[in-house]
Amino acid sequence: MGRHFIVGMTAFLAAVTPLLATGNSNDNYDVDSLVMSQVLADPNAYDFPPVNSNGADLFPMRPCKGFQLWEASIDDLQELLSTSKLTSVDLLQCYLERIYQTDSYLKAIIQHNPDALRIARSMDQERANGRVRGPLHGIPFIVKDNIATKDRMETTAGSWALLGSVVPRDSFVVHKLRKAGALLLGKAALSEWADMRSNNYSEGYSARGGQCRSPYNLTVNPGGSSSGSGVAVGANLIPFAVGTETDGSVINPAQRNAVVGIKPTVGLTSRDGVIPESLNQDTVGCFAKTVRDAVYVLDAIYGVDHRDNATFGQVGKTPKGGYTQFLADKSALQGAVFGLPWESFWALGDSQQIAQLVELIRLLESAGATIINGTELPHYKTVVSPDGWNWDYGSVRGYPNESEYTYIKVDFYNNIKAYLADLNNTNIRSLEDIVQYNKDNLGSEGGYPSIHPAFGSGQDGLEASLASKGIMDETYFQALEFCRRTTREEGIDAALRHGNNNTFIDGLLVPPDVAQSIQAAAQAGYPAITVPAGTNKESGMPYGLAILNTAFSEATLIKWASAIEDLQKSSGTQWQRSLPEWRGYLVRNLPVPF
Ligand SMILES: *[C@@H]1O[C@H](CO)[C@@H](O)[C@H](O)[C@H]1NC(C)=O
Ligand SMILES: *[C@@H]1O[C@H](CO)[C@@H](O)[C@H](O)[C@H]1NC(C)=O
Ligand SMILES: *[C@@H]1O[C@H](CO)[C@@H](O)[C@H](O)[C@H]1NC(C)=O
Ligand SMILES: *[C@@H]1O[C@H](CO)[C@@H](O)[C@H](O)[C@H]1NC(C)=O
Ligand SMILES: *[C@@H]1O[C@H](CO)[C@@H](O)[C@H](O)[C@H]1NC(C)=O
Ligand SMILES: *[C@@H]1O[C@H](CO)[C@@H](O)[C@H](O)[C@H]1NC(C)=O
Ligand SMILES: *[C@@H]1O[C@H](CO)[C@@H](O)[C@H](O)[C@H]1NC(C)=O
C-alpha cells in the first residue's frame, strides 16, 4: 500500500516539476506561505484513506473549532449554540466541509443552497437578539430534490427535464421548516422521479445527481428513493433530512443507512409543492440519527394545509403540544404487547438478519415486553409477494384490479400534470413531454431500454403511466379499494386485534428489509417508524426494526421506538446504530445490485 502511495507522489511531482523549472529553483517550491497554506500536508488523516484500507475509522469528521460533531444530536448542537461555543455559521461551515470531504464518494447532495451563509448569519443574529425559534433554530438540513424550494435552487426530482423550471412557492414542509428556524443547506440526491420512471433501474441514481452511494457499502443499493436523505444523515453530513415516500422510500433508505425514519400517515404532512407520484399514498417523512431528533422534525412539518385536502384528515387526531411529549425510556416497555406477523413478513427475510433481529426481540422481552408471535395480516397469502417487493403483484397473480401499480400509474399521470401546471419557465407540461424529453436526451436520460446502465428498462414506468392516460375506470377503483381494505381493516388493523378479549396490541414489529412489510403500511396510508437494529455480516449494510400501527398512531409509534432506542443504548447491544465502514469506497459499479 505504501509503495503505491509513493509511486503516486512521484508521478505527481513529475507532473508539476516542469512548471517550476522556468527560471525558479525547486527551493522556491515551499517558501511561499500563502501557497503552502493551501497545500495538504497529511492527505491520509481525513481525505485520502490509504488504498486498501477499510473500517469505521475511514473518513473521520474533522473537529469543528475543536468540537466533535460526529454523531452529535440536535440537542448537543443546540447546547453548543446556546452557550456561544459555536454559531450557525460555524455549523454550516463544518457540515459543508464534511460534505466536501465525502461527496465524491457518496454523491448525497444534488445541489447546495447559495444563500445558506446569509441565512445562517440571520439566524445567529436572531439568537443574539434573544429569539430562539425552537429546537431546530440554526440547525442545517437538506430536503429531497422532489420537494419545492422557492429560492435559487432547482427542484427536479433528479431529472434534467425540469431543470430551470420555477416553482410557485416553497412546499408547505419547507415553509414550516424555515419558520422553525432550520437552515436549508441544500437538496438531497434521490432515485430519479422517486422510482416512478423505470422498473429495472439503479437505486439511488438520477441523471442530474449521478449514483448516490451508502457509506456502509458503496457497491450496493444505498436505499431509495430518498437515497441522499438517508445517506447524508447516516454519514453525518447533516443533522437531519426530509424525504418522501409512496411505497418504502423513507423507511428503506433510513434503515439501509442506520438512521431513524418516520413515515407519517398520509395526510399528516402536506404534499403541496412535492413532485407527486400518487396522492393516494405520497407522504413527507423525516430522517435523523435518534428518535428525538426525528420527532423534532416531525413536529416542525406536520399540520393542516388548505392546498392538500388529505391534511384535513388529521383534525382531532394530533396531540396538543406536538409529539415530543411521547418520547419514552425503556421502562415504558414493561407490560407492552407487540405482535410479530411472522408468516406474513418475518419468514421472508434473510435468515441471518432475522436471527439477529430475534436477539433484539428477546432483549425487548427481557425489558418486560410481551411478544405475540403469529399476528398475521389475514390476506397475507394472497397479497404479499413471496419473492421481494413488487408493487404490481396483483397483476402477477392475474388480477390487475387488485394491484397497487394499477392506481399508482393512473395517479401519476394526473398528479404530475397538476404539479407541472403550477410551474413557470418550463416547456414540460405533461407526462407526454417528460417521456419525449427522455427520448430526445437518451444518452443522459435513458429514454429507451438498454441505453443507459442505470436505467436498464429505459423509462417503462413512465410509459406504463402514459398508457393509462390517467383514466380512473372501474379497474382503478377496484384496485384502490382492494389494496386499502386488505391492508387496513382486513390487514394491519386486524393483525393488531390480537390482545386479550379482542383488544388492540401496542404495535406490529416488522423487519423493514422485507420491503413487503412497509408496502402494507404504504398501501394502507398508515404510518411506520424504523430504528437502526444492526448490520448484515456479509454486506456491512444496516437494517432496521420497524413498528406499524393504524392511521394517525404516530404518538404510539414514537413512544415505542424511543423506548426501544433507549434499551438499545443503555444495554450496549450490538443490534443498534453503528458507524459506516465505507466498504468498497473505491468501486464505481453501475448499476448497483439490489
Ligand atoms: C410566472 O411568470 C410570470 C411572468 O414572469 C409572472 O407574472 C407570474 O407571476 C409567474 N407565476 C408564478 C406562479 O410564479
Ligand atoms: C379539495 O377539495 C375540494 C372540494 O372537494 C376541491 O374543489 C379542491 O379542488 C380540492 N383541492 C385540492 C388541492 O385537491
Ligand atoms: C414464530 O413462530 C414461527 C412458527 O410459526 C417460528 O418459526 C419462529 O421461530 C417464531 N419466532 C419467534 C421469534 O419466536
Ligand atoms: C435490467 O436491464 C439490464 C439492461 O437492459 C439487463 O441486463 C438486466 O437483465 C435487466 N434486469 C432484469 C431483472 O430484468
Ligand atoms: C377482480 O376481477 C376478478 C375477475 O377478473 C374478480 O373475480 C375479482 O372479484 C375482482 N377483484 C376486486 C377487488 O374487485
Ligand atoms: C375478558 O372479558 C371478560 C368479560 O368481560 C372479563 O371478565 C375478563 O377479565 C377479560 N379478560 C381480560 C384478560 O381482560
Ligand atoms: C458489499 O456488499 C456485497 C453484497 O453483499 C458484498 O458481496 C461485498 O463483499 C461487500 N463489500 C465489502 C467490501 O465488504
Residue 185 pLDDT grade (very low, low, confident, very high; cuts 50, 70, 90): very high
Residue 435 lies in a domain: no
| Residue (of 299, 283, 279, 288) closest to 147 by Cα position | 283
pLDDT tens, 298-327? Answer: 999 999 999 999 999 999 999 999 999 999
How confident is the model at residue 31, as a pLDDT? 77
Least confident of 5-9, 268-272, 340-344, 352-356: 5-9
Q: Return all residues near 137 (Cβ < 8 A) that are at least 6 apart.
A: 78, 81, 123, 126, 127, 180, 181, 182
Examine the domain organization and report whether 99 and 247 are in the same domain: yes
Examine the domain organization and report whether 192 and 290 are in the same domain: yes
Atom 7 of ligand 6, residue of closest alpha carbon: 501
Examine the domain organization and report whether 112 and 197 are in the same domain: yes
C-alpha 57 – ligand 4 centre gap (Å): 36
Examine the domain organization and report whether 28 and 144 are in the same domain: no
* Residues across the chain: 594
How confident is the model at residue 9, as a pLDDT? 35
Residue 523 lies in a domain: yes
Examine the domain organization and report whether 10 and 77 are in the same domain: no
* Mean pLDDT, residues 131-144 taken together: 98
| Residue (of 311, 374, 317, 382) closest to 343 by Cα position | 374
Residue 25: count other Cβ atoms within 10 Å of its Cβ.
Answer: 8
Structure-block grid coordinates of residue 196: 416512478
Structure-block grid coordinates of residue 23: 527560471
**Range(s) of the domain holding residue 224:** 40-333+344-379+486-589
Residue 467 lies in a domain: no
Mutate to test the pocket of ligand 3, among 343, 353, 362, 373 (most ligand atoms within 8 A of CB): 373
Examine the domain organization and report whether 8 and 70 are in the same domain: no
Q: What is the CATH number of the domain that holds 203?
A: 3.90.1300.10
Examine the domain organization and report whether 149 and 282 are in the same domain: yes
Examine the domain organization and report whether 118 and 26 are in the same domain: no
How confident is the model at residue 17, as a pLDDT? 34
Residue 213 pLDDT grade (very low, low, confident, very high; cuts 50, 70, 90): very high
Produce one character per residue of 79-89: b if its CB has 16 or more CB atoms within 10 Å, e if not: ebbeeeebbbb
Examine the domain organization and report whether 26 and 45 are in the same domain: no
Average pLDDT, the chain: 95
Examine the domain organization and report whether 115 and 199 are in the same domain: yes
Rounded to 10°, the helix 404-421/474-487 angle is 110
Count of structural domains within the chain: 2
Examine the domain organization and report whether 31 and 94 are in the same domain: no
Structure-block grid coordinates of residue 500: 386479550
- Of the residues 202, 249, 278, 553, only one is catalytic, namely 249
Closest atom of ligand 2 to 272 CA is 13
How confident is the model at residue 21, as a pLDDT? 39
Examine the domain organization and report whether 134 and 154 are in the same domain: yes
Among the bound ligands, the one closest to the CA of 589: 7
C-alpha 309 – ligand 2 centre gap (Å): 6
Structure-block grid coordinates of residue 194: 422517486
> Over 50: is that where the pLDDT of 74 sits?
yes
Residue 28 pLDDT grade (very low, low, confident, very high; cuts 50, 70, 90): low
Question: In a 3-state reduction of DSSP, which class is residue 571?
Answer: helix
* Mean pLDDT, residues 412-416 taken together: 98
Question: Is the beta carbon of 456 within 6 A of some atom in ligand 4?
Answer: yes
Structure-block grid coordinates of residue 100: 466536501
How confident is the model at residue 30, as a pLDDT? 67
Residue 408 lies in a domain: no
CA distances from 443 to 154, 277, 430, 550 (A): 22, 25, 21, 45
Residue 50 lies in a domain: yes
Among the bound ligands, the one closest to the CA of 483: 5
Measured CA to CA, the distance from residue 259 to residue 232 in angstroms comes to 10
The verdict on whether 227 is a catalytic residue reads no
How confident is the model at residue 525, as a pLDDT? 98
Residue 132 lies in a domain: yes
Residue 86 lies in a domain: yes
**Which stretch of DSSP H or E encloses residue 444?**
helix 442-445
pLDDT tens, 33-63? Answer: 999 899 999 999 999 999 989 889 999 999 9
Residue 530 lies in a domain: yes
CA 444 to chain CA centroid, nearest Å: 24
